[in-house]
Structure formats: C-alpha cells, structure tokens
C-alpha cells in the first residue's frame, strides 16, 4: 500500500446498502498515508451518517452544490485539480447512468463531469438492476472512456436474492486503486523528436507563405511522450503555445531550418513528423518590403526538401508521419506511408470543424506498415496523443 502515501483520493458515496463498506476503504487508504475527501449523494446519507464519513476522512463532507453559506471560489472546480484519483464506492445504477451521460445535477455527478483523473466505479446493486440493459450500456460507455469498473460479484444480496450485484471484495477494490498508482513509463529512456506547427517561407522582409497549423497536436504528442517517460525534443514552427517544461524546445521558422534541426536528431528512437512543413517556398526572397506595383506580382516558387524523404534511409528510428488529407483519404495516406518508408502514418482531415487545424479536438486513423488500421473517436488532442502512443508502443 506504499503507493498511496500522500495521494489525494476523492471518494464518492452513493445510495446503496453497501455504503457502509466505504468506511473500511477510507480507513485503509488513510492508514496507508493517503488523504481522502468525500462527496456523499443525498441518498447516500439515508444509508450512512455524514458525521461518520467526516470523522473517518478527517475532512468536511461535500454534499451539496449550493451551500447555505457559500464559500468564496469555485469549490467543485478546485477539487478537480487537487486530487489524484476518484473512487465511486458504492456506485449505484443511478450514478453510473449519470456519469455515462454527462449529467451534472448534484455534487458528485458534477465532480465526475469535471474530473479527468483516473476514476474507479465499484457498482453495488440488485442483480436485476445490474443486468438491466440500460445499466450494462452505461457501464460499457464508461469502460470505453477509460474508466475502471470493478465488476460486482455473485452471491447473496441484501434482498436475500442470489445473483451478480454485490460490491466487489475489499482486496479487489484495493488492488484496482493500487494499479492506478502503479505508473508505467513505457517510453522511459527513449529519445523522441517531434515536429509541430507550420513553417513560414519568406517572400520579402515582412511577408511569408504559411498554413493554418497551430501546433496543438504536435505539442500534445510531445507532452504525452514526456509523461510516458521519454526524453523529448520538440521542433516547433511559429506558434502561440507555451513551451512545455521538461522538454527540449527548438524554435524554427522555415522548412530548411526544420530539416537542419531534424537532421541533428537522426539517432533518436522515434521521429514523429507532425509539422505542416511548406512544400514550396519563394525562389527569390526580396530582402526589403516589395512595393505595391500596378502590374501583377508573380512569385516563383520552388519545392522545399521533403524531410521524410531525406531522412528515411539515414535513421534507424521508428518514423511516424502525419497525412492531412481532404480527399481519397486512406489511399493518399497509405501511398505516403509506402513511398516514404514510414513505420506508421496518422491520417487526419481538415474536412470537419472539430478536426485538423487550429482546433482542440481531432480524429485520426493510424495505419502501420505491418498492415494494422485503427480509428479513434473525435476527442481532445491530448487524448488522441495518448491513443496514438498506445498504438505505437503496442
């Protein structure tokens, strides 16, 4: 239980006869050095006293969104930042359904709608409630979102019926809590270079050709790799994002700057080419500002060096390319992967408002050179980055 020392755990207690079992779990977590903050639903208080939970957690119990005497600040939002894990024990069919559907109408469902920390649900209910299709669908939805469900057990229930619905035994619940803190670092000691953002190709002293890439996807990939233990170098074109602490940042402007920076890192374990590098640049750059003329201005463009083509035979790294396509999506992505000898290609499009450039969400399909194909849901770029690394590490 060493892993629980100084961990802040939010326990949500709901209206089931098994609510009293929360007392034991709270005592064990606190004995192991963890801190516990409890939220009780209105129904939970029909089964176990608020004073008992306040005494055992050594913290005031949260049981209402709107206090009679409101405290300054936004308690429900602050809470979501200060904790390491959420444990819903026992979890009623009601809280499972609310969490699966984003309902936030009491203090516990509200906290669940905000908290992105690892969350464990420990259902306890009558066997008919458990096997209700609506309940099983909600459980499945939560699982798909990465929530941990400690399945109830078979046995005698409070109603003296026998079936699946009893709260899981204490050891199984504790094992699940422990496994949340058993932080795995699958990219530990790996050197990873990631490119992000656009490039800017100067036309004259003040103008340039660029594209709408914000860099958000590449930054999310870099931060996720860092959190998975990697030594990350992020080569970023011009962007408005904050540098990520703990990552080596290299800021560049042009495609040739990016080529030079990537060429220095060919001994990396992974190279992720997420940047939207210009394919063409003005052939002649006017050092001062081009004056406005009556006549047409023609800018002659020349191709930039294709970075993936250039590095493909010079590195042993696992190379991950990105394809932003607007038509013939799969065909174009696979063609790029094969031509450039990539290990993986991540296809995304700019065809929808919540995908691609300059938005916080994305949807990707990952193809591997070994023939695998997997598509993500539309999700935040952080979760897409996690999805991508999971597939690649796998």
Ligand X SMILES: Cc1cc2nc3c(=O)[nH]c(=O)nc-3n(C[C@H](O)[C@H](O)[C@H](O)COP(=O)(O)O)c2cc1C
Catalytic site positions? 211
Closest CA to 111 of 135, 86, 89: 86
- Over the range 370-394, which residues count as b (16 or more CB within 10 Å of their CB) and which as e? eeeeeebeebebbbbbbbbbebbee
Which of 16, 119, 200, 233 lies at the binding interface for ligand X (CB under 6 A)? 16
Restricted to residues 338-367, the positions that interact with ligand X (CB under 6 A) are none
Helix axes 75-82, 107-114, angle to 10 degrees: 50
Q: Which is nearer to ligand X, 92 or 361 (CB)?
A: 92
- How many residues belong to the site for ligand X (CB under 6 A)? 15
Closest CA to 341 of 373, 371, 308, 366: 308
Closest separation in Å from C-beta 150 to ligand X:
14
Q: Which is nearer to ligand X, 134 or 393 (CB)?
A: 134
Which of 120, 125, 149, 272 lies at the binding interface for ligand X (CB under 6 A)? 125
Q: Which is nearer to ligand X, 52 or 239 (CB)?
A: 52
Is 200 among the residues that bind ligand X (CB under 6 A)? no
Q: Which is nearer to ligand X, 61 or 347 (CB)?
A: 61
Restricted to residues 126-145, the positions that interact with ligand X (CB under 6 A) are 129
Which of 4, 7, 11, 15 lies at the binding interface for ligand X (CB under 6 A)? 15
Q: Which is nearer to ligand X, 19 or 261 (CB)?
A: 19
Task: Please state, in angstroms and as integers, the Cα–Cα distance from residue 370 to each residue in 329, 339, 341, following that order.
Answer: 19, 15, 12
* Binding-site string for ligand X from residue 85 to residue 114, where x marks contact by CB under 6 A and - marks none: -------xxxx-------------------
Which of 44, 258, 317, 392 lies at the binding interface for ligand X (CB under 6 A)? 44
Closest separation in Å from C-beta 128 to ligand X:
11
C-alpha dihedral sign at 95, 99, 102, 108: positive
Q: Which is nearer to ligand X, 88 or 337 (CB)?
A: 88
Would you give the DSSP letter of residue 303? E
Is 168 among the residues that bind ligand X (CB under 6 A)? no
Those residues with Cβ within 8 angstroms of residue 352's Cβ, 6 or more apart along the chain or in another chain: 363
What the block records as the tokens of 53 is 């939970």
What the block records as the tokens of 366 is 């990952």
Return the range that interacts with ligand X (CB under 6 A); candidates 37-45, 340-348, 360-368, 386-394.
37-45
Is 43 among the residues that bind ligand X (CB under 6 A)? yes
Closest separation in Å from C-beta 134 to ligand X:
12
Closest separation in Å from C-beta 311 to ligand X:
55
Closest separation in Å from C-beta 125 to ligand X:
3
User: Rounded CA gap, 376 and 384, in Å?
Assistant: 7
User: Rounded CA gap, 311 and 26, in Å?
Assistant: 55
Closest separation in Å from C-beta 158 to ligand X:
7
- Over the range 46-76, which residues count as b (16 or more CB within 10 Å of their CB) and which as e? ebbeeeebeebbeeebbbeeeeeeeeeeeeb
User: Rounded CA gap, 255 and 51, in Å?
Assistant: 64
**Unique residue bearing structure tokens 């559907």:** 101
Residues that bind ligand X (CB under 6 A): 14-18, 41, 43-44, 92-95, 124-125, 129
């Amino acid at each position: 239980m060493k892993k629980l020392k100084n961990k802040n755990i939010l326990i949500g207690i709901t209206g089931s006869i098994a609510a009293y079992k929360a007392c034991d779990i709270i005592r064990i977590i606190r004995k192991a050095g963890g801190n516990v903050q409890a939220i009780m639903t209105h129904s939970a208080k029909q089964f176990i006293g608020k004073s008992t939970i306040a005494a055992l957690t050594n913290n005031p119990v949260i049981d209402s969104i709107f206090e009679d005497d409101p405290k300054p600040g936004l308690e429900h939002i602050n809470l979501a930042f200060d904790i390491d894990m959420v444990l819903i024990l026992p979890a009623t069919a009601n809280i499972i359904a609310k969490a699966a559907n984003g309902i936030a109408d009491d203090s516990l469902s509200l906290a669940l709608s905000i908290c992105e920390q690892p969350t464990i649900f420990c259902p306890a209910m009558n066997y008919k409630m458990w096997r209700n299709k609506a309940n099983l669908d909600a459980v499945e939805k939560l699982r798909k979102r990465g929530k941990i469900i400690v399945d109830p057990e078979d046995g005698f229930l409070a109603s003296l019926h026998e079936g699946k619905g009893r709260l899981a035994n204490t050891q199984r619940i504790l094992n699940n809590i422990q496994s949340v803190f058993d932080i795995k670092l699958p990219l530990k000691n790996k050197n990873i270079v990631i490119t992000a953002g656009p490039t800017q190709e100067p036309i004259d002293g003040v103008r340039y050709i660029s594209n709408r890439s914000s860099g958000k996807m590449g930054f999310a990939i870099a931060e996720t790799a860092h959190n998975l233990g990697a030594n990350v170098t992020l080569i970023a074109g011009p962007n408005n994002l904050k540098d990520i602490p703990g990552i080596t940042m290299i800021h560049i402007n042009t495609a040739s700057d990016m080529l030079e920076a990537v060429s220095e890192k060919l001994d990396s374990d992974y190279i992720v080419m997420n940047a939207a590098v210009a394919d063409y640049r003005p052939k002649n750059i006017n050092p001062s500002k081009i004056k406005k003329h009556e006549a047409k201005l023609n800018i002659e463009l020349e191709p930039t060096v294709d970075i993936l083509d250039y590095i493909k035979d010079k590195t042993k790294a696992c190379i991950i390319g990105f394809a932003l396509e607007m038509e013939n999506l799969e065909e174009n992505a696979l063609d790029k992967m094969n031509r450039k000898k990539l290990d993986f290609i991540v296809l995304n499009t700019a065809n929808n408002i919540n995908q691609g450039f300059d938005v916080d969400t994305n949807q990707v399909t990952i193809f591997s050179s070994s023939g695998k194909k997997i598509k993500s849901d539309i999700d935040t770029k952080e979760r897409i980055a996690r999805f991508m690394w999971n597939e690649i590490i796998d």
